[in-house]
Chain A
């Protein structure tokens, strides 16, 4: 996929995200196309990441892209964050306007973030994005209420990545999906990161799924990272007591 024309051929070098946990900042640095999973006690972190986008918290969370730091306190910062960060939420919170057809839902981020695009270019971008995610193009003319949970989550994912963000933050994206649909979404996410330079931040409690998708895993307990390592290490030799507890309770370890 690569970055869009307006960004030239610039390769994203540094991407760092800090969010405020109850006990100080959680700082993550991504390499291009890397997947990091936060597991454990993560229920507080989703709202923190979304506060970056909405600007509801002025201090604390920030996003650093190529050494340029963006906080939601300034208008420029908010614009930069919107351009580079997008979110995928549980399917029942998917931001799909019930009165709009899927096409219009997917056009919305392009209209906002790539206003220079012509209507035709927008449609082509959307169609290629759907093809990448193996979603039927016929979905475009449907209303969200006519779609199954799995299809809705696919549309939400397409909406999140259609404008080619640098970082996709997926907060509990598998919640309330059946295993078959979870598997479909996992395949889409794997395909997405292997095919483009988008970095993926997974925030979820399911260690088995995190270990399946992520390069690195960080275990969060009481709002702070207690252990971080490669996904492989975390499966085999969890060091901290809390990580051991999670690993022991997770079925495949």
Chain B
């Protein structure tokens, strides 16, 4: 069942965040329990999407065109702005994925102060329930430790318990969540189980295609406020079609032999005022031909994997 549907959405740029690309005719459908990775750098579009979903009151005035709605049980389809009135906490976008930050405060109190949507008393109670769910031996002891004293594993469990306590309909996560590979594997497993149970959808903002494929079913790659490639996460990792996706894949340590430099191009993405004509990626693209300078590419491919490129990787040189 579709949980969130975005159609042809364009927003005006935020004057207070000049580096951030506004969204340009975005189409996105997210099903219940689905995990979607937003790849390509926060400023390239994911940050605007996050702001739109997590601060709809502020964002409303900036929508130029398009529709956004959520399917809510018992209430039918609600626009984002209606949702804000009806149900706080339906969309949760914690600032950083490991949430807690530093401090000498008790972990329980610190976590509860971040979960304002729950209220203090019920927040700690639900945190303890959450911790029990993730097999914490001593939830009470863990919550009474100072936030500084937690190790990476405990921090991860607390952040998962915070997600379980809020149980939003849509969770917006930002990478890097967990650096340690052992913990990451557990994090992915627990988050999968939790979302299967509650039907929560996860939007995971990252730039790592491999991590995206480990956590998510679907990957969407943004560049200069537009989607350049989207589809099945594993096929984007293994068979990227847009040169940008392919480039991002080559920047990972497993893609190059050890002790050899990564093939980075030394250029950076355009700023919102200076998006090149035609395909926005053409100044950095080794495959660009004359057409790429003039004509913005249309989507091609299939419904499960599509890309906006005149000369996708599959066509060869």
The interface residues of chain B, by DSSP majority, are classed as loop
Structural contact, B258 and A251, CB atoms closer than 8 A: no
Structural contact, B264 and A211, CB atoms closer than 8 A: no
- Does B93 touch A at the CB level, under 8 Å? no
- Among A44, A204, A205, A232, max chain B CB count under 10 A is at A205
Structural contact, A249 and B185, CB atoms closer than 8 A: yes
- Does A224 touch B at the CB level, under 8 Å? no
Q: How large is the interface on A (under 10, 10 to 19, 20 to 34, 35 or more residues)?
A: 35 or more
Structural contact, A180 and B264, CB atoms closer than 8 A: yes
Q: Looking at the complex, which one of B19, B182, B208 makes contact with A249 (CB distance below 8 Å)?
A: B182
The interface residues of chain A, by DSSP majority, are classed as helix
- Does A246 touch B at the CB level, under 8 Å? yes
A180-206 residues with Cβ-Cβ distance < 8 A to B are: 180, 182-184, 186-187, 190-191, 204-206
Structural contact, B264 and A183, CB atoms closer than 8 A: yes
Q: How far is the CA of A249 from the CA of B185 in the complex (A)?
A: 6
Structural contact, A180 and B176, CB atoms closer than 8 A: no
Contact flags A107-135 to B (C-beta < 8 A → 1, else 0): 00000000000000000000000000010
Q: Looking at the complex, which one of A43, A172, A184, A249 makes contact with B184 (CB distance below 8 Å)?
A: A249
Structural contact, A178 and B258, CB atoms closer than 8 A: no
- Does A252 touch B at the CB level, under 8 Å? yes
User: Known interface pairs A186-B262, A213-B259. Does A246 touch B207 (Cβ–Cβ under 8 Å)?
Assistant: no
Residues of A within 8 A of B210 (CB): 251
Structural contact, B214 and A179, CB atoms closer than 8 A: no
Q: Looking at the complex, which one of A179, A190, A205 makes contact with B259 (CB distance below 8 Å)?
A: A190
Structural contact, A190 and B261, CB atoms closer than 8 A: yes
Q: Hey, which bits of chain B sit against chain A, CB under 8 A?
A: 19, 41-42, 151-152, 176, 179-182, 184-185, 207-210, 214, 247-248, 251-254, 256, 258-262, 264, 266, 268
CB pairs A–B below 8 angstroms (24 shown): A41-B180, A172-B179, A176-B176, A178-B42, A178-B207, A179-B209, A179-B251, A179-B252, A180-B248, A180-B251, A187-B261, A190-B259, A191-B261, A205-B179, A206-B181, A207-B181, A211-B253, A212-B256, A212-B259, A246-B180, A249-B185, A250-B181, A252-B253, A252-B254
